Chain A
Amino acid sequence: AQKITQTQPGMFVQEKEAVTLDCTYDTSDPSYGLFWYKQPSSGEMIFLIYQGSYDQQNATEGRYSLNFQKARKSANLVISASQLGDSAMYFCAMRTKTSYDKVIFGPGTSLSVIP
């Protein structure tokens, strides 16, 4: 069964520090994509970063990077130089080749950035 696990329900980080949000996934499909979304308290879902299962390099988008460890089936999000505006819920999600039009979301991690 396809599943996304985010084991940290809540995280705190000091402003300007880096933080890693954990995500592990389970699929038997060799082709898949992994996504991270941010949901601020206002409710909208904001796409952050994407990693394909065959991508040779870890994805980076500005202050966001994805620590992709395929053998461990983990896709941790690293946020560098945290800002107060980074306080939000963060969701890891997956789409596989056999279900490419569905996106499976993890339960989310609530990140609070402390001044």
Chain B
Amino acid sequence: DSGVTQTPKHLITATGQRVTLRCSPRSGDLSVYWYQQSLDQGLQFLIQYYNGEERAKGNILERFSAQQFPDLHSELNLSSLELGDSALYFCASSVGGGLGNNEQFFGPGTRLTVL
């Protein structure tokens, strides 16, 4: 158990819908990262927040948005869902954002299926 929690574990929805994925980082971690893992794209970094502020942006679509709240939990919002958005979405957390061995601890993931 990494200490990072993600809810829900599974999510099944229809095209065009909007969903919210939730992540609670490990106690004391200030950084939260979101990743998408799909069969065709592999693991893709989406976005990172550090202590409530957006810190880095990766391959995140405009239909997706995220935020980190004062209690440091984070939510990833996916809207106008398409079939291709079906994937495993990981949240990870780390203490800081430096280059050193700033290990990221991953949550168990949310499996999103868009029908």
- Looking across the interface, which residue of chain A has its beta carbon closest to that of B43? A105
- A12 located at the interface, meaning its Cβ lies under 8 Å from any Cβ of chain B in the complex: no
Smallest Cβ-Cβ distance to A51: which chain B residue: B101
Please tell me if the beta carbons of A100 and B97 are within 8 angstroms of each other in the complex.
Answer: yes
A105 nearest CB neighbor, chain B only? B43
Task: In the complex, identify which listed stretch (A16-24, A40-48, A66-74, A75-83) lies at the interface while the others stay far away.
Answer: A40-48
Which of B48, B56, B104 has the most chain A CB atoms closer than 10 A to its own CB?
Answer: B104
Q: Which residues 67-94 in B have Cβ within 8 Å of A in the complex?
A: 88, 90, 92
Main secondary structure of the interface of B (DSSP, over half): strand
Residues on B with beta carbons closer than 8 Å to the beta carbon of A44? 2, 106-109
Q: Which of A43, A97, A106 has the most CB of B within 10 A?
A: A43
Residue B42 contacts which of A43, A101, A108 (CB distance < 8 angstroms)? A108
Q: Is the CB of A101 within 8 A of B48?
A: yes
Q: Beyond A44-B2, A102-B48, is A95–B99 a contact (Cβ under 8 Å)?
A: yes
Residues in B whose Cβ lies below 8 Å from that of A31: 99
Please tell me which one of the listed residues B43, B107, B109 contacts residue A91 in the complex, with CB atoms under 8 A apart. Answer: B43
Q: Mark B11-44, 1 if CB is under 8 A from A, else 0.
A: 0000000000000000000010100000000111
> Is the CB–CB distance between B43 and A100 below 8 Å?
no
Within the complex, which residue of A47, A103, A104, A105 is in contact with B105, where a contact is CB–CB below 8 Å?
A47
**Which chain B residues have a beta carbon within 8 Å of chain A's beta carbons?**
2, 31, 33, 42-45, 48, 50, 55-56, 58, 88, 90, 92, 97-109, 111
Q: What are 18 A-B interface contacts by the 8 Å CB criterion?
A: A33-B102, A35-B103, A44-B106, A46-B106, A47-B104, A47-B105, A47-B106, A50-B101, A50-B103, A52-B99, A96-B99, A100-B99, A101-B48, A101-B50, A102-B58, A103-B104, A104-B45, A107-B42
